[in-house]
Structure 1
Amino acid sequence: MAGEIIPDGGGGGAVVAAESVMLPASMVLVQLFSVVLVLLSKLALSTGMRPFALLAYRNLVGAVAVAPLAFIFERKNRKIPSIVEWCWISLNATFGVILSMGLYYYGLRSTSATYSVIFLNLIPIVTSIIAIIFGAEKLVFTNWPGKIKLFGIITCVGGTMVVSLYKGKLLHHPWPSHLLKFHTQKASGYAYHHNLLAGTLFLCGSCLSYAFWFIIQVRLASVFPYRYWATTLTCLSGSLQAFVIGILISPTKSAWTLKWDMQLLTVVYSGVFNTGISFVLMSLAVKHRGPIYPSMFNSLSLILMVIMDSVLLGTSIFLGSILGTAFIIVGLNAFLWGKGKELKQAVAQHTSHKQNTDHNEQVGDEIA
């Protein structure tokens, strides 16, 4: 994969060996951060925290966490974006914070943590479908990677339908559950009950927003190619937008008051670990293993969430959930395998074309 370190005989082998251990471990850690965040967010929302209040505070902490990286690694770059760059940053915040995260929080509040994580794993599939519709990506059926991608898409969609429409038999598990039930019982005075249909619509909207957000990020990177600074400004813009919308929806002071409880823990944890540390770890993984590598570990979050959601929140496990999750895991890994092969082929073709071009230019110069 592009960016991979090649052993050079001496200490290169040790570097590659250390990298082969540290990179997978870091991606497992990122998935663990994500699972814990979803559980904390579910508890915070269940105890009455408003989704846009959580968004506003979370992204404010996230901006503070990433800003030092921008000043350390990008201090020599210009810091004040132009009007066009500000427009792209604001649009990036609208889709990446307000729509994708906002709709996800509403979906999480109406469903379970396990159910919501399933839709997070569908984001690469939805992004690819949107890219195909808009012509930014082609689905080729004449080679095996294209066929495997199509199989992965169909399997993921089928698995999602199984989870959504088929409940099946209640499964008994050997581990204890309801360890945090006393937290969720506090929400009994609120009107936050399970509404699968509304929650599914919110989560589908979140997936679509994430797909468009990734497309917008490509454009933003071309006009403002400073990753850390762009992330800091996006978090600030998203926090401001969430604050304005949240004030319009919930203008009461109590909706914005943070106490030393689960809500404050969720805000600090999400900003530091999921916006700060996870961003750095994923950037390093993409640099050394390519853009597909972090997504290969997404299935782990599904497995962890099924267990932790049952153990900590007492969510029941049904046969339909297990079957649908298995379909989604198989389909996602098949899709990522096909996508990775296509990227390798594209890199190889680009390298070959560049070598032929350089050779032709060299021959032309010799003739001249």
Structure 2
Amino acid sequence: MSIRSQAKINGTGATVAGAMIMTFVQGPNLNLPWTRKLGIQEQKQGEVTLQHTIIGGSMIIIGCFSWACFMILQAVTLRTYPAELSLTAWICLLATAEATTLALVMEKGNVSAWFIKWDMKLLAASYTGIFCSGIAYYLQGVVMKARGPVFVTAFSPLNMVIVAVLSSFILDEQMYLGR
């Protein structure tokens, strides 16, 4: 096995291990000045059970594995299909078809769920679709084509840290050392 392959496997393993540590280890509360202190009643409502922790850990493992497979598939596809923008359009179109199918199954005749309302939910979905998916996939393709998939995936663990910090600012979530 080549050194590059070993580095990729070790990097994926380190990412999964870091995600598991963040999931299973709950250290002390980081009393950050911008988050409010929780009362005893609020702490009990937000308790995490062992079952939730196991399900969350399993979902993280599945997510990390799926993301690694997607990156490999995108890198292989870009070798034979060099149009990054067109590939991004195909990825988003197929994701829309999959999400629509899943929504049809989950909503089971709830017609009101399909009405478009001009509110924050529409804005959030539009922002996520345009910026978090469309532009991000395009930029990943460009960088992947120029530098390779390892360069793109090297920044994936940083996403969890950024989300944790922003959730403490925006959503006023308590941060713990670990979970």
* TM-score (normalised: structure 2): 0.68
Provide Cα deviations, 1:230-253, integer angstroms capped at 9, x if missing partner: 322332233123212321221311
Equivalent AA in structure 2 for residue 303 of structure 1: V
Equivalent AA in structure 2 for residue 318 of structure 1: Y
Q: Which residue of 2 aligns with 1:205?
A: 62
The within-5 A match list for 1:163-174 is 163-174=22-33
Structure 2: how far apart are the matches of 1:244 and 1:146? Answer: 36
Give 1:146 shift. 7.5
Structure 1: how far apart are the matches of 2:5 and 2:21? Answer: 24
Q: Which residue of 1 aligns with 2:45?
A: none
Q: Which residue of 2 aligns with 1:60?
A: none
Mark the CA change 1:150 to 1:293 in structure 2 (over 3 Å): closer, same or farther. closer
2:27 alignment partner, SS class: coil
Aligned residues of 1:177 and 1:310 also touching (Cα < 8 A):
no
Equivalent AA in structure 1 for residue 26 of structure 2: K
Provide Cα deviations, 1:69-99, integer angstroms capped at 9, x if missing partner: xxxxxxxxxxxxxxxxxxxxxxxxxxxxxxx
Q: Which residue of 1 aligns with 2:162?
A: 304
Mark the CA change 1:295 to 1:268 in structure 2 (over 3 Å): closer, same or farther. same
Structure 2: how far apart are the matches of 1:241 and 1:156? Answer: 27
Structure 2: how far apart are the matches of 1:310 and 1:162? Answer: 19
Structure 2: how far apart are the matches of 1:169 and 1:199? Answer: 20
Mark the CA change 1:242 to 1:161 in structure 2 (over 3 Å): closer, same or farther. closer
1:168 alignment partner, SS class: strand
Structure 1: how far apart are the matches of 2:129 and 2:169? Answer: 25
Structure 2: how far apart are the matches of 1:273 and 1:261? Answer: 18
Q: Which residue of 2 aligns with 1:30?
A: none
1:197 alignment partner, SS class: helix
Mark the CA change 1:244 to 1:320 in structure 2 (over 3 Å): closer, same or farther. closer
Q: Which residue of 1 aligns with 2:21?
A: 162
- Structure 1 gaps of 5+ residues are 1-137, 179-193, 322-368
Mark the CA change 1:314 to 1:288 in structure 2 (over 3 Å): closer, same or farther. same
Q: Which residue of 2 aligns with 1:275?
A: 133
Mark the CA change 1:139 to 1:196 in structure 2 (over 3 Å): closer, same or farther. farther
Mark the CA change 1:257 to 1:196 in structure 2 (over 3 Å): closer, same or farther. farther
Q: Which residue of 2 aligns with 1:97?
A: none
Q: Please state if 1:229 is matched with 2:86.
A: yes
Aligned residues of 1:171 and 1:318 also touching (Cα < 8 A):
yes
Structure 2: how far apart are the matches of 1:198 and 1:208? Answer: 15
* TM-score (normalised: structure 1): 0.38
Provide Cα deviations, 1:263-312, integer angstroms capped at 9, x if missing partner: 11122112221233334444444455444333344454333322211122
Provide Cα deviations, 1:208-238, integer angstroms capped at 9, x if missing partner: 2223333433554456443322322332233
Equivalent AA in structure 2 for residue 165 of structure 1: F
- Structure 2 gaps of 5+ residues are 38-50
Mark the CA change 1:164 to 1:301 in structure 2 (over 3 Å): closer, same or farther. closer
Aligned residues of 1:176 and 1:311 also touching (Cα < 8 A):
yes
1:169 alignment partner, SS class: strand
Aligned residues of 1:169 and 1:318 also touching (Cα < 8 A):
yes
Aligned residues of 2:88 and 2:134 also touching (Cα < 8 A):
no
Q: Which residue of 2 aligns with 1:90?
A: none
Aligned residues of 1:285 and 1:294 also touching (Cα < 8 A):
yes
Aligned residues of 1:177 and 1:312 also touching (Cα < 8 A):
no
Mark the CA change 1:240 to 1:196 in structure 2 (over 3 Å): closer, same or farther. same
Give 1:313 shift. 1.6
